[in-house]
């Protein structure tokens, strides 16, 4: 069994990893840490929840720590982490602070929703690392707030999303601002032809790492799809809430208008709810996420801006008020669960435990995606339950979702 000390990490990084409770690396961590430390361009695909952030951060921090990081220096930026959303930028910066504690590295994150002058001022003393969303990064490059000509490591997290966001011009501008000699590292939970094309154009002598792990959507989460009429979805959602004793649930809607409508509806019906969409100010987003994480509200209604890179411990339920257009987005929505497995209660005997596992296995094998009581499926083998309300025009999407997760998804009528 491989352990972190055998991966070539320095004593500080090993101590930080141990303090965070990491004992043995996952496959993607074991393979990627060595690849990144070797200086190779890296193309890594692994499911949500397999530790991809540590897989690219630990070796990059190791390389950055090899030089003098005294506080008096004005730092040139040597590492750039590009991410699709503000929430993920903040999460990556937090992870850098945890993994890199004691290394003396400076990190600045930049994203929309914050005044540009305040972000420009942060670069006066320089930084070793910048974590950025694409459009804000390009804005700052145009203002000559900093230079990227000394970048040694360029990392794209959620790379499949970045190349599919319709930001071709921004990506070209970013790549043009980087030096010719740099390490390009692409990490993603899902692969795509667009990502492969980007790799072909921007990576050399690539180390490709793909795990054999199945997506958590396949073997760790129960999927229930209910067919319903579009006009009836609000009342169907309320009925589903009556059917299931939700301790907390993340509800995905497609538009800002839907988020605001559902948040108002749920609160009017006595269900504590908050909503997030692109036009919610950054400070307010952070407060809303904290409320949900702290169990102060039961429902968080959101667009896909929280489908990636937002970790909410012990979140078991996800509800698709509408299915996403992209099948990979379904996987990422489902992946908001499965962040931490729910353990079996200690008062069960081993025989009872075995029967529960066998029952669940039979339910999944038989592909009975109908309603199941939460207490029947909350075990250490099932990490989450995702419900979807499917109207007629969305049914063609189901075939693409089935192909993406490698399992046939069935939709059934429910007597609402």
**Torsion of Cα atoms, 258 then 264 then 265 then 268, to 10°:** 180
Structure tokens at 191: 């692969």
Q: How far apart are CA 148 and CA 198, in angstroms?
A: 20
Output the CATH code of domain 216-413: 3.40.50.300
Instruction: State residue 245's pLDDT score.
Output: 85
**Side-chain half-sphere CA neighbours of 216 within 13 A:** 27
- Strands of 289-344, DSSP E: 299-302, 317-320
How far apart CA 88 and CA 283 sit, in angstroms, is: 15
The residues with which 167 forms a beta bridge, in sequence order, are none
Query: For the chain, which ranges sit under pLDDT 70?
Result: 1, 69-73, 212-219, 309, 338-381, 406-407, 412-416
Rounded Cα–Cα distance for residues 190 and 394 (Å): 22
Dmax over Cα atoms in the chain, in whole Å? 68
Distance of CA 149 to the CA centre of its chain: 29
Question: Residue 48 has what pLDDT?
Answer: 74
Distance CA 185, CA 161 (A): 15
pLDDT digits (tens, 9 = 90+) for 20-65: 888 889 899 999 999 999 999 999 998 777 889 999 999 999 999 9
CB 40 within 8 A of CB 206: yes
For tokens 């609000």, the residue is: 234
- For residue 22, what pLDDT is reported? 87
- pLDDT given at position 201: 96
Predicted confidence at residue 414, as pLDDT, reads: 62
Distance CA 163, CA 43 (A): 14
Residue intervals of the chain classified under CATH 3.40.50.300 are: 4-210, 216-413
Token code pair at residue 269: 């019906």
- pLDDT value, residue 348: 34
Residue 333 — φ and ψ, nearest 5°? -60, -50
Residue 358 DSSP SS3 = helix
Number of residues that this document lists for the chain? 416
Q: Whose CA is closest to 319, among 250, 223, 400, 271?
A: 250
- Six-digit token pair at 110? 């930049």
The CATH architecture assigned to 4-210 reads 3-Layer(aba) Sandwich (3.40)
- Predicted local confidence at residue 415, as pLDDT: 58
287-340 confidence digits (pLDDT tens): 998 999 999 999 999 998 877 767 777 788 999 999 998 887 888 788 777 554
């Amino acid at each position: 069994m491989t352990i972190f000390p055998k991966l070539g990490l320095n004593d500080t990084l090993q101590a930080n990893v141990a303090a965070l409770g990491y004992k043995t690396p996952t496959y993607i961590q074991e393979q990627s840490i060595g690849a990144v430390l070797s200086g190779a361009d890296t193309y890594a695909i692994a499911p949500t929840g397999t530790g991809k952030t540590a897989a690219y951060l630990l070796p990059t921090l190791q390389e950055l720590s090899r030089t003098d990081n005294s506080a008096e220096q004005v730092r040139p930026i040597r590492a750039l982490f590009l991410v699709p959303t503000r929430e993920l930028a903040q999460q990556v910066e937090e992870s850098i602070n945890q993994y890199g504690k004691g290394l003396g590295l400076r990190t600045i994150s930049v994203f929309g929703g914050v005044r540009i002058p305040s972000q420009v001022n942060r670069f006066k003393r320089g930084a070793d690392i910048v974590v950025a969303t694409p459009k804000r990064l390009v804005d700052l490059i145009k203002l000559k707030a900093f230079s990227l000509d000394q970048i040694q490591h360029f990392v794209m997290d959620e790379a499949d999303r970045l190349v599919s966001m319709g930001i071709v011009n921004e990506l070209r501008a970013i790549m043009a601002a980087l030096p010719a000699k740099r390490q390009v590292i692409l990490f993603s939970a899902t692969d795509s032809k667009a990502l492969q094309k980007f790799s072909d154009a921007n990576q050399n002598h690539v180390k490709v790492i793909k795990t054999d792990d199945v997506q958590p959507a396949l073997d760790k989460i129960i999927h229930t799809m209910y067919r319903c009429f579009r006009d009836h979805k609000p009342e169907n959602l309320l009925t589903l809430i009556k059917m299931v004793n939700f301790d907390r649930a993340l509800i995905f809607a497609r538009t800002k208008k839907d988020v605001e409508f559902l948040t108002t509806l749920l609160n009017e019906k006595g269900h504590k709810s908050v909503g997030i969409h692109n036009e919610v100010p950054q400070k307010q987003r952070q407060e809303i996420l904290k409320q949900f994480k702290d169990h102060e509200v039961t429902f968080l209604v959101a667009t896909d801006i929280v489908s990636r890179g937002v970790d909410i411990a012990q979140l078991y339920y996800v509800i698709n008020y509408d299915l996403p257009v992209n099948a990979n987005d379904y996987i990422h929505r489902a992946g908001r669960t499965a962040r931490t497995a729910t353990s079996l209660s200690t008062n069960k005997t081993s025989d009872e435990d075995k029967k529960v596992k066998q029952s669940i296995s039979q339910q999944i094998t038989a592909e009975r995606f109908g309603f199941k009581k939460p207490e029947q499926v909350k075990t250490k083998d099932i990490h989450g339950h995702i419900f979807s309300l499917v109207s007629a025009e969305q049914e063609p999407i189901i075939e693409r979702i089935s192909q993406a997760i490698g399992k046939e998804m069935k939709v059934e009528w429910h007597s609402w």
